[in-house]
């Protein structure tokens, strides 16, 4: 059985006090779930979050990191820094990083290499823009995003990779991909992996869906055979909603 995962990407939300309070609500109310639960608070709250969740099964993960190990990169955070505060998993390739901070497939290939070198787990995000879908290029775009950043890895490296398909047009817009659209793309991703590597690898990889997942639609999306969970933005900021989503399997 593939690992099921529900991860909350808090983006640039929640200061330290708000982080403490949301984690308090989550730890008090989160039941045992089929899915592994992760949260990605902002950098300044990571260490506190790690301390608060040290004995809890909710994992604290990073939202981003630089590909260099250290040096003159003002404002950046390295893999070693994340690991030093207890973070072993990092989100890379989020569409907001690509769109607003100029992250390219080439930069992402370097970032995933660095994460791998540090034996970190990677939640790798990718997904097409609205124009790509309208012009019918969405499969090609997704395939090239995956190939350019990840296909240089040998099969053995993939045990540290979780994929997160996030169609850009569905992020923060309230417009979710239909469960059928999500399933169609996730199946395509698995077929692409099977062709490039093996059926075994393709069937073992967890592929999350992200983009306006809410308590009201999570159950149906997660019920699709190739959808292994979700990367949740807005709805991860309310304990009640995030818990409802984590319970949706
Ligand atoms: P929303 O759930 O707010 O659409 O965000 C999805 C996302 O970008 C998670 O990384």
> What's the CA dihedral at 84, 157, 41, 71 to 10 degrees?
50
Distance 210 CA to ligand 1 centre (A): 6
Task: For the full predicted model, state whether its pTM sits above 0.85.
Answer: yes
Q: Whose CA is nearest to atom 9 of ligand 1?
A: 233
Q: Whose CA is nearest to atom 2 of ligand 1?
A: 233
Residue 202 exposed, middle or buried by CB count within 10 Å (0-12, 13-18, 19+): buried
| Distance between CA atoms of residues 159 and 107, nearest Å | 21
**Catalytic residue list contains 103:** no
| Distance between CA atoms of residues 27 and 219, nearest Å | 22
**Ligand 1 atom at minimum distance from 236 CA:** 2
| Distance between CA atoms of residues 50 and 29, nearest Å | 18
**Residue 172 CB less than 6 A away from ligand 1:** yes
Distances from the Cα of 174 to the Cα of 55, 178, 183, angstroms: 35, 12, 19
Q: 220, 176 in Cβ contact below 8 A?
A: no
Full pLDDT tens readout for the chain, 249 residues: 899 999 999 999 999 999 999 999 999 999 999 999 999 999 999 999 999 999 999 999 999 999 999 999 999 999 999 999 999 999 999 999 999 999 999 999 999 999 999 999 999 999 999 999 999 999 999 999 999 999 999 999 999 999 999 999 998 888 889 999 999 999 999 999 999 999 999 999 999 999 999 999 999 999 999 999 999 999 999 999 999 999 998
Distance 172 CA to ligand 1 centre (A): 6
Distance 60 CA to ligand 1 centre (A): 17
Residue 47, token pair as written in the block: 């260490």
**Catalytic residue list contains 94:** yes
């Amino acid at each position: 059985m593939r690992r099921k995962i529900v991860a909350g990407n808090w983006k640039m939300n929640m200061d330290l006090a708000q982080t403490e309070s949301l984690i308090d609500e989550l730890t008090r109310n989160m039941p045992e779930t089929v899915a592994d639960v992760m949260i990605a608070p902002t950098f300044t709250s990571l260490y506190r979050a790690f301390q608060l969740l040290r004995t809890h099964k909710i994992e604290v993960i990073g939202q981003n990191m630089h590909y260099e190990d250290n040096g003159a990169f003002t404002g950046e955070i390295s893999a070693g820094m994340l690991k030093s505060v207890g973070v072993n998993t990092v989100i890379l390739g989020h569409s907001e990083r690509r769109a607003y901070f100029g992250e390219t497939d080439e930069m992402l290939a370097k970032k995933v290499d660095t994460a791998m070198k540090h034996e970190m787990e990677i939640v790798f995000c990718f997904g097409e823009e609205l124009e790509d879908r309208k012009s019918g290029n969405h499969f090609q775009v997704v395939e090239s995003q995956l190939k350019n950043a990840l296909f240089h890895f040998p099969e053995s490296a993939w045990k540290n990779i979780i994929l997160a398909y996030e169609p850009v047009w569905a992020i923060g817009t309230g417009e979710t991909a239909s469960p059928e659209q999500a399933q169609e793309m996730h199946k395509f991703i698995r077929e692409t992996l099977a062709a490039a590597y093996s059926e075994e690898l393709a069937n073992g990889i967890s592929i999350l869906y992200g983009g306006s997942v809410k308590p009201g639609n999570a159950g149906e999306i997660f019920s699709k055979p190739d959808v292994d969970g979700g990367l949740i933005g807005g709805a991860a900021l309310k304990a009640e909603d995030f818990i409802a989503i984590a319970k949706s399997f």
